[in-house]
Amino acid sequence: MFTVILRSVCVGIAFLVVSAFAGGFAFALWFSRNLPAAPQQEVGWDLVTMYRNMSSTTRLLPLFFFAVGFLVGYRYFSRSLQDKRARP
């Protein structure tokens, strides 16, 4: 049972990392599309300021993504464990 939970935690962390990269990419596309067209623009992000300006519900999004990944992993690995026990 410990291995199922450990594997599920790993899936949750992987899901969190993938969602962070996908979210960052989507945010960059959205942000760059809303800028006025000008040659040689540069974009700088101050992550601390962005974090402080987030609402409390937005700060809980990483926990939500981890929980979804954990539950998917737990469901998958607990089923595979039951299948192994059912085989003679």
pLDDT in tens, 56-69: 888 888 899 999 99
Name residues of the chain where pLDDT drops below 70.
Answer: 32-43, 80-88
Asked if residues 67 and 8 have their Cβ atoms less than 8 Å apart, the reply is: no
Distance CA(11)–CA(70), nearest Å, equals: 6
pTM over 0.85: no
Distance CA(50)–CA(44), nearest Å, equals: 12
Q: Give the residue from 4, 3, 14 showing the smallest Cα distance to 69.
A: 14
Asked if residues 12 and 69 have their Cβ atoms less than 8 Å apart, the reply is: yes
- pLDDT of 48 reads 84
Q: Containing domain of residue 35, as a range? A: 2-86
Tally of domains within the chain: 1
- pLDDT of 15 reads 92
- pLDDT of 25 reads 85
CA dihedral 26, 30, 33, 39 (to 10 degrees): -70
